[in-house]
Structure 1
Amino acid sequence: MSADGPPALSVEAAGRPRGLFVAFEGGEGAGKSTQVRLLCDWLAAQGRRARATCEPGGTPEGAAVRAIVLDRAHTGLAPRAEALLYAADRAQHAHAVLRPALEAGEVVVTDRYVDSSLAYQGAGRAIGLDDVAAISRWATQGLRPDLTVLLDLPPETGLARARGRAAADRLESESIEFHQRVRDTFRALAAAAPERYLVLDATRSVDELAADVRARVGTLLGERA
């Protein structure tokens, strides 16, 4: 995988403004879904068309994939099969949700995207980042976020939060060493392309994090205008 990841792909449509694509990444319990919701609420209050989505499960077909990859009944799933299932979910997500919304000029905000596969399957499962990057690039036709917000949190803290909400799912049940590899990879990806990332200490308050996200997204929207 190159240092700056998959190549960008223009999603401009004739006569329509190009949308803005924002992805939230991070380990378990980092607060991604909360920040996605707060950002979309803020964008709507500014009169922007905002679309909140997620991976896996951002489409009806993806919901079926999500049921497989997170269910502890499937602990015997091969790492490569797992990676391909996530790629299938992402291909449908890009086709049915991401591209149409971006072509319509919307701000699309997703809870997880390609970096999660690089971190969880590439490093966590030790498949290798190059292979996972290749299938993700193929699945998305090179579509990458304009901004990736990494909510960085020690895995012990994040897992305690996640397990306090509900029974641990298949990924949350992995070892602390697995989750440390995931965190290290997220941080390495951000360090390799700092201009495309906003790395935030997710031990801070929800409101502080949301303010930093709004500031960065507001700047990007201003540049687009």
Structure 2
Amino acid sequence: MLGKLITFEGIDGSGKSTMLALLRENAGLKNLGEIAFTREPTQNTLTGKAVYAAIECDVDPMAELFLFMADHAAHVAETVRPNIAAGKIVISDRYSDSRCAYQGATLDKTIPNALSFVKNLHAGWTIVPDLTFIFDLAPKDSVERVKNRGEKTKFEKIEFLTRVRENFMTLAKAEPERFVILDAKLPPAENEKIIVEKIKSIL
């Protein structure tokens, strides 16, 4: 039996990492089957290292997009597809929707309909998630949460994050059957309960 792909999305500081740590220990989730936790950009890989280097540098937006795309392609081929074929539940911290939202915002002054452009680049070869949770948070709250990380990257500024958040909402509106929007300001335990019940419902 094929497994399922579940993804977690949201702007920086929305609580995805905290939630994933809770889910790793959630007994109810463990009882549903074998789970493979993963993330994008990937870590300790050739493509992932290139992406992290690009984030730190002033890379051309189009070049940056295709670095992210290359990392996604490697992630799908080497991690996501094999685990799903093995019948596992794959839970990814960020996936293709992050690229649509973030790179769509990065490119929105460079090419027309940037969100649609990035989304269409994935068509026909990537694996579409069975369920996607968006941790929704106001950009000003995001910046407040991440300010202790040190110097902000270009992805952690209010104006930019506002466009990213709008892109996430546009994606969710287009596929309401796949997306679940969570209030990122709720106590983590409340969202954890919602998440586990939603995952149960698709298995």
Matched residue, 1:68: 53
Matched residue, 1:29: 13
Aligned residue pair count: 198
TM-superposed CA distance for 1:82, in Å, is 0.8
Which deviations, in whole Å up to 9, do the C-alpha atoms of 1:177-215 show, x marking residues without a partner?
Answer: 111010011011112211101100101111111111011
Report if aligned partners of 1:62, 1:93 keep a CA contact under 8 Å in 2.
no
CA–CA separation in structure 2 for the residues paired with 1:201 and 1:68: 32
Q: Secondary structure at the match of 1:195?
A: coil
Alignment pair present for 1:155 and 2:139: yes
Moved over 6 A (4+): none
Matched residue, 2:68: 86
Match of 1:214 among 193, 196, 200: 196
CA–CA separation in structure 2 for the residues paired with 1:220 and 1:47: 11
Alignment pair present for 1:169 and 2:153: yes
Report if aligned partners of 2:43, 2:49 keep a CA contact under 8 Å in 1.
no
Matched residue, 1:129: 115
TM-superposed CA distance for 1:33, in Å, is 1.6
**Aligned-residue RMSD, C-alpha:** 1.8
CA–CA separation in structure 2 for the residues paired with 1:169 and 1:123: 15
Residues 131, 210 of structure 1: CA spacing in aligned structure 2 closer, same or farther, 3 A cutoff? same
TM-superposed CA distance for 1:115, in Å, is 0.9
CA–CA separation in structure 2 for the residues paired with 1:199 and 1:47: 22
Which deviations, in whole Å up to 9, do the C-alpha atoms of 1:110-166 show, x marking residues without a partner?
Answer: 01111111111112431402221132336xx13110000000000110121122244
Report if aligned partners of 1:49, 1:106 keep a CA contact under 8 Å in 2.
yes
Alignment pair present for 1:48 and 2:42: no
TM-superposed CA distance for 1:48, in Å, is 1.7
Match of 1:120 among 97, 102, 105: 102
Question: What is the identity, as a one-letter code, of the residue corresponding to 1:136?
Answer: H
CA–CA separation in structure 1 for the residues paired with 2:173 and 2:116: 17
Unaligned runs of 5+ in 2: none
Residues 200, 47 of structure 1: CA spacing in aligned structure 2 closer, same or farther, 3 A cutoff? closer
Report if aligned partners of 2:3, 2:83 keep a CA contact under 8 Å in 1.
yes
TM-superposed CA distance for 1:67, in Å, is 2.3
TM-score, structure 2 length as denominator? Answer: 0.90
CA–CA separation in structure 1 for the residues paired with 2:130 and 2:122: 17
Unaligned runs of 5+ in 1: 1-16
